[in-house]
Amino acid sequence: MQKIAKLNRQTLHWKIIAIYLLLFDMFALNISHFLALWVRFDCQYSEIPSNYLFSFVHLAPFYTIVSLIAFWRFHLYNSVWRFASFNEFTRVVLATAATFILHILLTILYVRAFPWFGVVRMPLTYYAFGIVIQFLLTLSSRFFYRFILLMRDMRRKASSNVARILLVGGGEAGQMVLHSINQARDVREKVCCVIDDNPNKWNRYIDGIPIVGGRDDILKSVKAFRIDKIIVAIPSATAKEKRDILNICKEAGCEIKNLPDMYRFMTGDVPVLNALADVSMEDLLGREPVKVDMQGIFQFLQGKTILVTGGGGSIGSELCRQIAAHTPRQLIIFDMYENNAYDIQNELMRKYPTLNLTVLIGSVRDSARINSVFEQYRPEIVYHAAAHKHVPLMESSANEAIKNNVFGTYKTAYAAMKNGCKRFVLISTDKAVNPTNVMGASKRMCEMVIQSFDKMIEEGREAEIPRLYAHMSNEDSKMTEGLPAGFHATTEFVAVRFGNVLGSNGSVVPLFKKQIEAGGPVTVTHPDIVRYFMTIPEAVSLVLQAGTYAESGTIYVLDMGEPVKIDDLARNLIKLSGKDIKIEYTGLRPGEKLYEEKLMDEEGLRTTPNKLIHIANPIPMDTQKFFCQLKELMKVCYAENIDIHEMIGQIVETYHKPVAC
Element (H, E) at 501: strand 500-502
In-domain check, residue 579? no
Residues 257 and 321 in one domain: no
Residues 355 and 456 in one domain: yes
Of the residues 155, 190, 222, the one at which a domain ends: 155
396 contacts 354 by C-beta, under 8 angstroms: no
How far apart CA 99 and CA 28 sit, in angstroms, is 13
In-domain check, residue 190? yes
* pLDDT score recorded for residue 1: 45
Gyration radius from the chain CA atoms: 36
Of the residues 155, 174, 204, the one at which a domain ends: 155
| Intra-chain end-to-end CA distance of the chain, in Å | 67
Reported as a single tens digit per residue, the pLDDT across 234-272 is 877 777 788 788 888 878 878 888 775 433 433 344 444
Helix H, strand E, coil C: the string for 155-166 is HHHHCCCCEEEE
Q: For the chain, what is the domain count?
A: 3
489 contacts 415 by C-beta, under 8 angstroms: no
558 contacts 498 by C-beta, under 8 angstroms: yes
Residues 418 and 494 in one domain: yes
* pLDDT score recorded for residue 264: 42
Q: Is the per-residue pLDDT at 273 higher than 70?
A: no
Q: Which amino acid, residue 394?
A: M
Q: In terms of residue numbers, what domain contains 466?
A: 294-500+534-561+598-651
pLDDT confidence tier of residue 560, bands split at 50, 70 and 90: low
Most confident of 234-243, 303-312, 532-541: 303-312
- 3-state class of 167 per DSSP? strand
* pLDDT score recorded for residue 660: 46
How far apart CA 437 and CA 591 sit, in angstroms, is 4
Q: Cα dist. 233→171, 199, 223, 245, 275 in Å?
A: 8, 17, 20, 11, 10
In-domain check, residue 482? yes
Output the average pLDDT for the chain: 79
Q: Cα dist. 380→165, 364, 377, 408, 480 in Å?
A: 55, 18, 9, 19, 24
Residues 170 and 139 in one domain: no
Residues 254 and 205 in one domain: yes
- 3-state class of 320 per DSSP? helix
Residues 410 and 455 in one domain: yes
- Nearest alpha-carbon partner for 206 in 217, 192, 220: 192
Q: Is the per-residue pLDDT at 334 higher than 90?
A: yes
402 contacts 413 by C-beta, under 8 angstroms: no
Reported as a single tens digit per residue, the pLDDT across 423-459 is 999 999 888 888 888 999 999 999 999 999 999 998 8
Can you state the angle between helices 50-73 and 2-40, rounded to 10 degrees? 150
Residues 165 and 125 in one domain: no
* pLDDT score recorded for residue 479: 46
Residues 271 and 304 in one domain: no
Which stretch of 44-53, 203-212, 452-461 has the lowest confidence by average pLDDT?
Answer: 44-53
pLDDT confidence tier of residue 408, bands split at 50, 70 and 90: very high
Q: Is the per-residue pLDDT at 534 higher than 60?
A: yes
Sequence-distant (6+) residues with CB within 8 A of 563 are 530, 531, 532, 595, 596
* pLDDT score recorded for residue 148: 67
* pLDDT score recorded for residue 189: 80
How far apart CA 190 and CA 165 sit, in angstroms, is 6
How far apart CA 369 and CA 412 sit, in angstroms, is 10
Residues 76 and 122 in one domain: yes
How far apart CA 299 and CA 536 sit, in angstroms, is 22
Element (H, E) at 308: strand 305-309
Q: Which amino acid, residue 357?
A: L
Q: Work out the percent of the chain whose per-residue pLDDT is above 90.
A: 25
Residues 269 and 306 in one domain: no
Which stretch of 52-66, 363-377, 586-600 has the lowest confidence by average pLDDT?
Answer: 586-600
In-domain check, residue 587? no
Cα of 636 vs its chain's centroid, Å: 46
397 CB-contact burial (10 Å; exposed 0-12 / middle 13-18 / buried 19+): middle
Q: Is the per-residue pLDDT at 87 higher than 80?
A: no
In-domain check, residue 284? no
* pLDDT score recorded for residue 38: 86
Reported as a single tens digit per residue, the pLDDT across 9-38 is 545 556 777 787 788 888 888 888 888 888
In-domain check, residue 571? no
Residues 146 and 223 in one domain: no
In-domain check, residue 510? no
CATH number at residue 184: 3.40.50.720
Kindly report each contact of residues 460-466 with a partner whose C-beta sits within 8 Å and lies 24 or more positions away, as own/partner: 460/488, 462/417, 462/487, 462/488, 462/489, 463/487, 465/414, 465/417, 465/627, 466/627, 466/630, 466/631
In-domain check, residue 615? yes
Give the pLDDT mean for 619-633.
90
Of the residues 136, 155, 174, the one at which a domain ends: 155
Which stretch of 8-17, 110-119, 553-562 has the lowest confidence by average pLDDT?
Answer: 8-17
* pLDDT score recorded for residue 149: 63
Give the pLDDT mean for 557-566.
72
Residues 221 and 325 in one domain: no
